[in-house]
Amino acid sequence: MKTRQQQLKDLLADRVMTARELTHELAVSQPTLSRMISNIKNEIVVMGKGRATCYGLPKNTGHEHARLPVYSIDAKGDVHNYGQLTPLQGGQYWWQSHTCSGEIFHHLPWQLQDLLLNGYSARAFAHRYGDHLKLSPRYTDWTEEDMLFASSRCGEDRPGNLILGEESLARYFDLVRNPPNMIEPANQTIDYPQLALKTLAREITPIQLSGEQPKFSVCLNEPGAPCQMLVKFSPASDSKEAVRYADLLVCEHLALEAIRIAGINAARSRLVITSNQTFLCLKRFDRRGIFGRLPVTSLRALHTRIQAPCDDWVAAATRLKSRGIITDNETAKLHWLALFSDMIGNSNQHFGNISFLPHGNEHFILAPAYGIRPTIYEPLAGEIPARLFTPPPLRKEALSELTDARQSAILFWKSAAIDERISEGFRQICFENCDILQLQEQKPKFHI
Ligand SMILES: Nc1ncnc2c1ncn2[C@@H]1O[C@H](COP(=O)(O)OP(=O)(O)O)[C@@H](O)[C@H]1O
Ligand SMILES: [Mg+2]
């Protein structure tokens, strides 16, 4: 028969419980429970204070006992305590931020969700660190727990300004002591092709950002203002597929410009073009100078926070507004971005492709737009499928942004149609899409 002590541990292995629940389940008095808890106090996690006190068991992750400190890096590169994460048995987490007493989560706390990588760089990251972490070199074999563990060991350069775990912090200090070589602006056309090759060959430390497009990071020695950039690149080839990727990178640059002209913040970008390769360089909005960092939160993490499904950007904006998380102004901007994306064939409107910056207490403003390009024209399995662009159906909730967003989409297609950095074939497609939107604009409208 199981001892009471074992019964207590079995209960806590399922979920966090209060003293009241435990005395009830174990049929013991409060003083008996207190004695039992005190006998195993080194094995359990005590959470909260007074009547709200809860008990749980720390997760035996197979990656050692885990109570993980979380640090934030400020705009000067200085380190601050941010909180402490304790993964618990039963899939819960005990999160103590430096500003509040503590909270129990049934999933990874939303504040830390963006520390988990996915996509191209996650695959490169697993390949690079799998052995060192005693994990599979294939990211597809990793669980969320494995990725969390990896973030706590080799997560020195994640998006935003948070660092999980002492080992990752030690790696951040290594970075500060041995910063990567600066790229001179005049050398970009020589250095970038080499860095692209090394990225594909997995010979350099992979950038710790999500997304499907291969990319690397550099510190660019801009006169008087060195800055951190991320660089996306097309394949170094004249194949149809490579040309299409190059065209789409130029389009991303033009789309960000069109967004900025419309008065919405977008990542600062620049194209570097060699004889057979295109590089899109984007200034990091979550970095300041060489070491400074700024906080960002993805739309996905904010949806975890409010426990809402990740459906579409228009609904998401309206939802965040109704919860008082963003203002009317930010809502209108996200509606605009959704419509603009629809009208430039950006089908990639997932919740990792929008981020927010904290603004005052509990509020957020949109981070600069990024990753917006006509993804419907992306090559598929090495082929360039013929795609027909059809103007998207109207979205009632965002109707007030329609005219403006369409004007900007027309401007975008027009600028792409005459941009000589884009191949002739694709410029023709841009020209036709511009026509389609202009025709739609001229259709008779109801004014009732
Ligand atoms: N300019 C930027 N500054 C900081 N972070 C960025 C910037 N652009 C993109 N990111 C981050 O990198 C991730 C991948 O970027 P994205 O442009 O979406 O790449 P992909 O085209 O591969 O999907 C984003 O989810 C975001 O976290
Ligand atoms: Mg993306």
Nearest ligand to the C-alpha atom of residue 212: 1
36 close to ligand 1 (CB < 6 Angstrom): no
Residues near 387 by Cβ (< 8 Å), separated by ≥ 6?
Answer: 345, 376, 377
Distance 364 CA to ligand 2 centre (A): 20
The pLDDT of residue 241? 96
**Beta-bridge mates of residue 126:** none
- Supply the DSSP string of 249-289, one letter for each residue: HHHHHHHHHHHHHTT--B--EEEEE-SS-EEEEEE-TTEET
The pLDDT of residue 385? 85
Q: pLDDT digit string (tens) for 202-227?
A: 999 999 999 999 999 999 999 989 99
216 close to ligand 1 (CB < 6 Angstrom): no
pTM: 0.94
Distance 22 CA to ligand 1 centre (A): 47
Token pair belonging to 22: 């435990």
121 close to ligand 1 (CB < 6 Angstrom): no
In this model, does residue 200 exceed pLDDT 60? yes
In this model, does residue 11 exceed pLDDT 70? yes
Q: By 3-state DSSP, what share of the chain in percent is helix, strand and coil, each rounded to 5?
A: 40, 20, 40
Distance 380 CA to ligand 1 centre (A): 21
The pLDDT of residue 442? 81
Q: pLDDT digit string (tens) for 350-364?
A: 999 999 999 988 899
163 close to ligand 1 (CB < 6 Angstrom): no
The pLDDT of residue 388? 87
Closest residue CA from atom 8 of ligand 1: 370
Closest residue CA from atom 12 of ligand 1: 209
Q: pLDDT digit string (tens) for 148-181?
A: 999 999 999 999 999 999 999 999 999 999 998 9
Kindly give the residue spans of alpha helices, DSSP state H, lying in 87-180: 120-129, 144-154, 166-177
371 close to ligand 1 (CB < 6 Angstrom): yes
In this model, does residue 94 exceed pLDDT 80? yes
User: Average pLDDT over the chain, rounded to whole?
Assistant: 94
Distance 167 CA to ligand 1 centre (A): 25
Give the rounded percent of residues in the chain with a pLDDT score beyond 70.
97
Distance 16 CA to ligand 1 centre (A): 37
Alpha-carbon span 53 to 201, nearest angstrom: 52
Closest residue CA from atom 1 of ligand 1: 284
Q: Which of 284, 307, 310 is nearest to 299 (CA)?
A: 310
Contact (Cβ atoms closer than 8 angstroms) between residue 30 and residue 87 = no
Alpha-carbon span 357 to 348, nearest angstrom: 21
Which pLDDT band holds residue 242 (cuts at 50, 70, 90)?
Answer: very high
Q: How far apart are the first and last CA of the chain?
A: 77
Closest residue CA from atom 19 of ligand 1: 211
Contact (Cβ atoms closer than 8 angstroms) between residue 202 and residue 128 = yes
